[in-house]
Amino acid sequence: MTYNASYEKAGKIASHVRENARKKYYVGTTVSHICESIESEISKLGGAPAFPVNVSLNEVAAHYTAEPNDPIEVKDTDVLKIDIGVQVEGYIADTAVTISYDNKYNDLVRVAELALSEAIKKANAESKASDIGAVIENTILKMGYKPIKNLSGHSLERYTIHAGKSIPNIKTIGPSFKLSANQAYAIEPFATTKDGDGIVYEGKVRNIFGIASRKPSKYQEADLLLDQLWARFRTLPFAIRWITEFYEEPKARTLTEILLRRRNLHAYPILVEGNGKIVTQAEHTLIPLDGSNFVTTI
């Protein structure tokens, strides 16, 4: 399978499962069920999850995934962000949708989608990342909302979700890189209310992890787990519920904590809006071309 064919297949799968999620009524459904059903659908369609499905509620902007048998249920007052990653042979599609059943949040949901749409129009080979950020910021501000300043889109590489280049959600000052042809990028506006802080901070919950180093930890069982994690996920993120397939949950948590202390793993804390206000998100993956772009997740 060629480079672009892998991206294209991953994008089609991601788009399909995202739109299925958008149509579903999740009130009364546990976040466990949401994550596991979406991840199962990805696998049935011939892809693999590129990271644990994120199900971030309300003021949590990102990085919450279900714990094993997570009892949290979606309420009809919740604003639910579902962030989905699909990989095919390591090539990644990253996409997200915000779902709300409360009409008072319709415009906040819509502004993230509109900002994404306007940003995509701007994004082609040789477009400046700062110009894309300016479009996102202006679109959100014009509708009376705030962009989240310290969250951004990102470049993608094989088996690497955040590959070193950031596409801001605000206008930035100073030098800015230009998008490169045939390089994959995820663009993901986040918006909050006018009385929001517009900045996210790390929360206490951390239940998504990734390999930082393969240096032996000197704990035999932990090193065995590290080898298993590398064989299965490489540098892609994973969750505790993904490793309870071959370890009981208490053992999985103990070994994970050892690897965290030894800095073999790093954790992704949840990201929470500074004033505790609702956050919405929209996201697509695209590959810039000369004068246009290929959006893999449309």
Active site residue 283: yes
**Cα four-point dihedral sign 142, 143, 149, 155:** negative
State the catalytic residue, choosing from 154, 223, 273, 284. Answer: 154
Q: What are residue 66's phi and psi, to 5 degrees?
A: -70, 140
Instruction: Tokens for 111, please give them.
Output: 């502004």
Active site residue 154: yes
Place of tokens 């962000």: 81
Active site residue 162: yes
List the alpha helices (DSSP H) in the chain.
Answer: 3-23, 31-44, 106-122, 129-142, 220-233, 240-243, 249-261
Active site residue 16: no
**Cα-trace Rg, the chain:** 19
- Please check whether residue 280 is in contact with residue 105, taking contact to mean a CB–CB distance below 8 angstroms: yes
First to last CA, the chain: 21
State the catalytic residue, choosing from 39, 188, 223, 273. Answer: 188
State the catalytic residue, choosing from 16, 162, 197, 249. Answer: 162
State the catalytic residue, choosing from 39, 70, 83, 137. Answer: 83
Q: In this structure, how many other beta carbons lie within 10 angstroms of the beta carbon of residue 178? A: 14
Active site residue 94: yes
**Cα four-point dihedral sign 143, 179, 167, 52:** positive
State the catalytic residue, choosing from 67, 137, 283, 284. Answer: 283
As a three-state string, the secondary structure of 112-175 is HHHHHHHHHHHCCCCCEHHHHHHHHHHHHHHCCCEECCCCEEEEEECCECCCCCEEECCCCCCC
Nearest to 191 by CA among 112, 93, 81, 104: 112
Sequence-distant (≥ 6) Cβ neighbours of residue 59 within 8 angstroms: 272, 273, 276, 277, 278, 279
State the catalytic residue, choosing from 8, 78, 94, 273. Answer: 94
Active site residue 188: yes
How far apart (Å, rounded) are the C-alpha atoms in residues 10 and 218? Answer: 37
Query: Looking at the annotation, which residues are catalytic?
Result: 83, 94, 154, 162, 188, 283
